[in-house]
Copies of this chain bind each other. A is one copy, B any other.
Amino acid sequence: MDPVTPARLSLNTATVREQWNLRECIEGCARHGIGGISPWRDKLAECGVDEAARLIADHGLTVTGLCRGGLFPAADAAGRQAALDDNRRALDEALALGARCLILVAGGLPEGSKDIADARAQVRDGIAALLDHARPAGMPLAIEPLHPMYAAGRACVNTLKQANDLCDALGQGVGVAVDVYHVWWDPELEYEILRAGKDRLLAFHVCDWLEPTRDMLLDRGMMGDGVVDIPRIRGWMEAAGYHGFAEVEIFSAETWWKKPADEVLATCVERLSFV
């Protein structure tokens, strides 16, 4: 298995979100030889989509994804429509950037709901409605299963099997994003990566699971600092036909968000041996 080169590394802007704006992220990637970028929409809005597209093109970066659409479930029809409208805007932004995919984080339980099966049905219907626009536009939608600890608050799609089942149900134009943080524990992971296959494997996100983890949201680790055997998982991805970028996405309030961003990027590059 070939090592991941910096040219095949992508920076998810969440990794340095407290230090840099999008322009600084783009220039930082270029400086460190990092070939890809995956912006979050708040950074993108701040920069402006046209300006961002120009800067990214000028620096020769690949947009490995736009983070993020999704968050479909809502307590009423008006909320669902608002979610769909926002997803269409995200789709337009992904198209303007020439992103490889629009990342979808499903969304959790609507306020006051205990019906996770209903939330999951809303996610399926929401993606189907978005697909009506994404498919003719040629923008792949990447369903990212999140760790089960986020099932209530953030995403009720919690395993790669669920994401694959959704792809089966929804047809062309939708695939999956595999983030090792969310799926590393799953005994079905190897099988489900193979099942997804080359056409559906749209993104590969890396970081590490720290043990112990001190915060459920903002204590992700740098590759090599935790317990995840990332090369094993990347091997499964490659065996299934994925040879795209490894995108580093680290939420780390107490460690990496407190360091100079150039040091963070340099560390990501150094730690490619753990990817």
CB proximity of A240 to chain B, nearest CB, Å:
18
Question: Which A residues from 173 to 210 make CB contacts under 8 A with B?
Answer: 184-187, 209
A212 adjacent to chain B (CB < 8 Å): yes
Partner of A148, one of B116, B186, B212: B186
Q: Contact: A227 with B186, CB < 8 Å?
A: no
Q: Contact: A114 with B229, CB < 8 Å?
A: yes
Q: A152-B227, A227-B109 are in contact. Are A116 and B185 (CB under 8 A)?
A: yes
Q: Contact: A229 with B153, CB < 8 Å?
A: no
**Secondary structure at chain A's binding surface: helix, strand, loop or mixed?**
loop
CB proximity of A218 to chain B, nearest CB, Å:
12
Oligomer copy total: 2
Question: Which A residues from 203 to 260 make CB contacts under 8 A with B?
Answer: 209, 211-213, 216, 226-229
Q: Contact: A109 with B211, CB < 8 Å?
A: yes
A158 adjacent to chain B (CB < 8 Å): yes
A19 adjacent to chain B (CB < 8 Å): no
Q: Binary interface profile of A, 115-154, with partner B (CB < 8 Å = 1, else 0)?
A: 1100010000000000000000000000000011101110
Question: Which A residues from 17 to 49 make CB contacts under 8 A with B?
Answer: none
**Chain B CB within 10 Å — which of A115, A156, A211 has the most?**
A211
How many residues on chain A are close to B (CB under 8 Å)?
31
- Which residues from chain B contact A120 at a C-beta distance below 8 Å? 187
Measured in the bound complex, the distance between the Cα atoms of B152 and A226 in whole Å is 10
Q: Binary interface profile of A, 91-130, with partner B (CB < 8 Å = 1, else 0)?
A: 0000000000000000011000111100010000000000
Q: Binary interface profile of A, 76-98, with partner B (CB < 8 Å = 1, else 0)?
A: 00000000000000000000000
Measured in the bound complex, the distance between the Cα atoms of B151 and A153 in whole Å is 20
A5 adjacent to chain B (CB < 8 Å): no
With CB as the reference atom, state the residue of chain B lying closest to A219.
Answer: B216
Q: Contact: B152 with A211, CB < 8 Å?
A: yes
With CB as the reference atom, state the residue of chain B lying closest to A113.
Answer: B227
- Which residues from chain B contact A114 at a C-beta distance below 8 Å? 227-229
Can you list 15 A-B contacts (CB < 8 A)? A108-B211, A114-B228, A116-B185, A147-B149, A148-B149, A149-B213, A151-B184, A152-B185, A152-B209, A152-B211, A152-B226, A156-B185, A158-B185, A158-B187, A162-B187
